[in-house]
Structure 1
Amino acid sequence: MTKLVVLGGGESGVGTAILGKKLGHDVFLSEFGKITETYKEALLLNDVRHEDGGHTEQEIVTADIVMKSPGIPDTAPIVTKLLAQKIPVISEIEYAFKHTKAITIGITGSNGKTTTTTLTHLLLQKGGSNVGLGGNIGYSFARQVAQENYDSYVLELSSFQLDGILEYAPHIAVITNISPDHLDRYEYKYEKYIEAKFRITMNQTKDDYLIYDADDEEIAKWFKNNNTQARLVPFSATQVLKEGAYLRNGTSIEFNINGESFAIETKDVLLEGKHNFKNVMAAVLVAKLMQVTNLEIGEVLRSFGGVEHRQEKVRTVENVQYINDSKATNVASAVCGLDAMKTRTVWIVGGVDKGNDYSELIPLVREKVTAIICLGVDNRKIIEAFTPIVDVVVEARNMAEAVVTSQKFAKDGETVLLSPCCASFDLFKNYEDRGRQFKSEVYKL
């Protein structure tokens, strides 16, 4: 009997454990921290042996295969011991993929993943597909392979999840864009992070597709030095393309795919901003490859307004608009957030710095930002970067203080934007917790 050890007791780990039990494997789950009551109940219900509060090494190193949750770095002591003993350490995506015949659409990128993944899933559902949604969003891929019977899956894939694949190959891969992120996990080497993203296409064949941003500098560089067997389908906001999708004059999105040409007027798309038009291009290209009709696509685009915590309009108070962009956890994402602002802006920023270079934000901050509220345990880099160009730069100890302070500085007709540019783990459980606390405090104003 195969012994499967699962490291990590979150959604990814618990989902893998449930699938392992269904397959008849000897499963042991180990969580260094604490397993939540909800996940403990799921493990008990499925008769999964488990521990938390530390790792029992002698139990773990006897594994035939180990699934490592994406939040655990390769440098963790237990992982280095497993690798030294040449015990295979894989991701949940790799494990689940080997136990399903379903088609997968894998979507990665530094920004826009969640919006593109959610929209793609809605488009395929509208087109009548029996399709699941998973990966880095919703229930884990593994749990759904164990408990559902989908014909296809749309998966949001982080670089950490892709680090642990060996044979996984999506039928359709999407790379929304690449910009510096999570460099603390990649020895502060940008090239290692880029390599991780392109693992999504390493096992694709000539019968598969790779949809990508043709405007992205790092993607273009990669193609100069590397190849993929997949059929390339580009999209662009700046250039006319014979194959793929592009933005024409800012007023329409033109598509040329599989011998079919058609256009969608941007006024008929509820999502706003050039970055969102690119997300639409990627999602619609997937939909066309999966045989969704133009009529069905149009219906979805007219009604889909985005996802929670991504440029989410919360409330207007005394003619000041409050926007929750908590999912902006890196510089490029914060650039999108500030670029979308149509008014002068009070910016709430800060958290766990992942090796950020804030210089890219300086032109937008100079143009649009009237005050900065720093919300993090250590705000030194942010203060140093922006104090020379913004008159008001203050610190807040918690979200309640940040929101009240932002109201004090925001003038009539301006916007308060939470677009943190950083991870959330210093003061919050995750970016969702940060965004919900923001909304809660805004509703108290």
Structure 2
Amino acid sequence: MAGVLGMYAFEEIWNVSRFLYYGLVAIQTRGEEVSALAVGDTHAVTGGTADNLDLSPLRGYCGIAGAFTRNEGYYFDDGITIVYDGSIDVSRLANQIKSGKKVEDCLADLEGAYALLLLKDNVMYAARDPYGIRPLCIGGIGFDMAVISSESSALDVIGAEYSRDIKPGEVVVVDQFYIDSLENKAKQKAVCAFEFVYFSRPDSQVFGKSVHTVRKLIGETLEPHDADAVIGVPETAIPFAMAYANKNGIPVDLGFVRTGRPTRTAIKPTQLERMIGVQLKLNPVRTAVAGKRVVLIDDSVVRGTTMRNTVSLLRRRGAKEVHVRIASPKLIAPCPYGVEVPTRDELIAVDNTEEEISRIIGADSFSYLKVEQLTELIGMPVCTGCMTGEYPAEIEECCSCEMGNPHPAEVSQ
């Protein structure tokens, strides 16, 4: 998973590097392991968040940036700058461009699942795969700048106005004189359902729909249970918990206090880092849970180890009962589209029922949202490959990810 951002000012007096930095901070939740920013032919790459980037040599009126969960998702070489969210053969794309093939034609023929930004000869290109799996939107700052981002929240942060989503299969070309749109081979739309569950910020609009609105609907749909308090695991599960509490007439409480800066433990690269991250991030509020029947809501459970640790934390703080509700369907398959999910052997839902998972994690009850419920609440054609093992036709053959042997988990709890 990654977040991408591009800016193009129509007057050369502008320097977009600082705008790109703030926009990159806004989408940093999509990737915290590597940050990259390029303005013109100059670029900076750093391990960790955008705070570590040296912006001093970066000056120019057009640039692109990305936040990544691992050391890939970008290409900076020979005057070609690319950042992408998804799974593509980026070296092949770059070599085609170097051979003299028009960039627009290369992007029209590009295979894979992607939201992509490319900068060459001070022209910016933006493209989405024909299925529209990954989000990408366009907006602007008055008549001065065009802004393209994975999420609309990045536009908000830098003072840009959202205009529209870039369409599946569309290529947008931006230079100093015009913004052009080339509509190509759009196929049956299949947007990533997990964008609404976990990846996107709640203040974003993705695929033309409010993330926060969908999360409230999900929270209202989760299986009810009589309890004294509802608690959401920070940060993603808070909207689910609030909606669940309102729907069922149960008080929602501050169950955890964060230690340190906000971070997403689910996208840490190793299990040890994820476990330590939970201990640092989630310190239960004793008075919120002691002696109470608690409904604990989280966005997902993958391996189950993190949830087992979280339930144990609540027990140690005196919770009388812990009933776990998960705001996504069970995950039973890897993702070939740039999201790292463990192999099937590591996925707790593959061989265990809800009752068995409840025993494994030490909860009093446990239930997932159902796939049919999620697709109905999103209200548009979605990709649920990680939840069903069924993927959009053709595209799985184009992606570089090995279906049976993906990288270590990005969405792993």
**TM-score normalized by structure 1?**
0.26
Question: Greater relative contact order (Cα 8 A, min sep 6): structure 1 or 2?
Answer: 2
**TM-score normalized by structure 2?**
0.28
More helix by share: 1
